[in-house]
């Protein structure tokens, strides 16, 4: 039986979350409820649940603080009214990010995602990328954060940058996070447009403004609309000579 801990500082929201879990995941067992981050931290390490649903803002210790401090590792779903913490949440290893108010269907989708962690393994890649057949390269990226879904045209991507187990996708409008290795993405991008310039960076050459030589024969790539340059490693510098 999969065990669950809930941490939410508002009682009515805690009860709502508990009821939705009981209805949509009856085979799981809620073993504890915490009213703040301090309680959640102690209960996770004491009871060792399989899954924790954590609010982000709940007193002096946030949900992100909790998951970074616990010794027991469990699957975490952050539940919050603020979408601005999404990147931090996924960098901390969250399985999902429920944005209040969430629908019953959104809860079901979240539960299925968590269940996949106990089965054949993570299923993030097919959910994040549009389907590819034959030699067809990616046309759009599908990014899900909380209950919001963005479809990003691949031509709007300025660059991809590895960030731990994730990739940061930078466009003119936003930065998004995907849980997929950079080496997987590069195989699915059109090489006439996208080039790897560093072991952790892929750029859209249509968005490349200029290349600059610096001291010690280092090369930096300046992208259109981006002030901070990207380093070009020696292994990839030949394509600019």
Q: How far apart are CA 14 and CA 77, in angstroms?
A: 14
Q: Are 166 and 90 in contact (CB under 8 A)?
A: yes
Section 13-42 average pLDDT? 93
pLDDT surpasses 80 at 21? yes
| 87 or 231, which is more confident | 231
Q: What is the pLDDT of residues 108-147, one digit of tens each?
A: 989 988 887 775 333 333 344 444 444 568 888 877 655 5
CB contact set of 117 (below 8 Å; sequence gap of 6+): 75, 95
Fold of 3-116: Rossmann fold (3.40.50)
| 180 or 66, which is more confident | 66
> Left if phi > 0, otherwise alpha if psi is -120 to 50, otherwise beta: which for 217?
left
CATH, domain range 126-240: 2.40.50.1020
Section 25-30 average pLDDT? 93
- How high is the mean pLDDT of the chain? 83
| Phi, psi angles (nearest 5°) of residue 201 | -140, 135
What's the token pair of residue 58? 């709940």
CB contact set of 9 (below 8 Å; sequence gap of 6+): 35, 36, 55, 57, 58, 59
The model's confidence at residue 15, banded by pLDDT at 50, 70 and 90, is very high
The model's confidence at residue 168, banded by pLDDT at 50, 70 and 90, is confident
- The pLDDT value recorded for residue 145 is 59
Q: What is the pTM of this model?
A: 0.53
Strand 3-7, strand 29-34: pairing: parallel
Q: How far apart are CA 54 and CA 97, in angstroms?
A: 10
The helix-helix angle for 11-24 and 104-116 (nearest 10°) equals 60
Q: What is the pLDDT of residues 33-91, one digit of tens each?
A: 999 999 999 999 999 999 999 998 887 888 888 888 888 888 899 988 877 777 777 76
- The pLDDT value recorded for residue 128 is 42
What's the token pair of residue 48? 């060792």
Apex CA 43: angle with CA 37 and CA 44, to 5°?
Answer: 90
- The pLDDT value recorded for residue 17 is 93
HSE-CB at 94 with a 13 A cutoff on CA atoms is 27
Enumerate the domain spans of the chain: 3-116, 126-240
Q: Are 143 and 176 in contact (CB under 8 A)?
A: yes
- The pLDDT value recorded for residue 187 is 84
| 133 or 10, which is more confident | 10
Q: Same fold for the domain at 3-116 and the one at 126-240?
A: no
- Enumerate the H helices of 25-135 as residue ranges: 37-47, 63-69, 86-91, 104-116, 124-128
| 214 or 204, which is more confident | 204
At 71, is the secondary structure helix, strand, or coil?
Answer: coil
CB contact set of 23 (below 8 Å; sequence gap of 6+): none
């Amino acid at each position: 039986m999969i065990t669950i801990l809930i941490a939410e500082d508002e009682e009515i929201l805690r009860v709502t979350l508990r009821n939705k879990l009981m209805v949509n995941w009856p085979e799981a067992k809620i073993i504890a409820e915490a009213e703040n981050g301090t309680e959640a931290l102690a209960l996770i390490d004491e009871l060792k649940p399989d899954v924790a649903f954590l609010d982000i803002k709940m007193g002096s210790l946030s949900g992100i603080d909790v998951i970074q401090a616990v010794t027991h590792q469990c699957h975490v779903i952050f539940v919050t009214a603020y979408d601005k913490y999404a990147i931090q949440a996924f960098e901390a290893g969250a399985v999902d990010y429920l944005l209040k108010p969430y629908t019953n269907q959104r809860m079901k989708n979240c539960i299925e995602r968590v269940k996949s962690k106990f089965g054949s393994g993570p299923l993030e890649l097919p959910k994040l990328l549009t389907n590819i057949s034959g030699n067809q390269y990616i046309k759009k990226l599908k990014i899900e954060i909380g209950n919001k879904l963005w479809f990003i045209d691949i031509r709007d991507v300025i660059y991809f940058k590895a960030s731990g187990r994730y990739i940061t996708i930078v466009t003119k409008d936003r930065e998004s996070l995907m849980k997929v290795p950079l080496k997987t993405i590069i195989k699915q991008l059109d090489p006439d447009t996208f080039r790897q310039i560093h072991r952790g960076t892929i750029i859209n050459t249509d968005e490349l403004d200029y290349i600059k030589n610096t001291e010690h024969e280092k090369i930096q790539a300046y992208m259109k609309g981006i002030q901070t340059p990207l380093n070009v490693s020696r292994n990839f510098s030949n394509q600019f000579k």
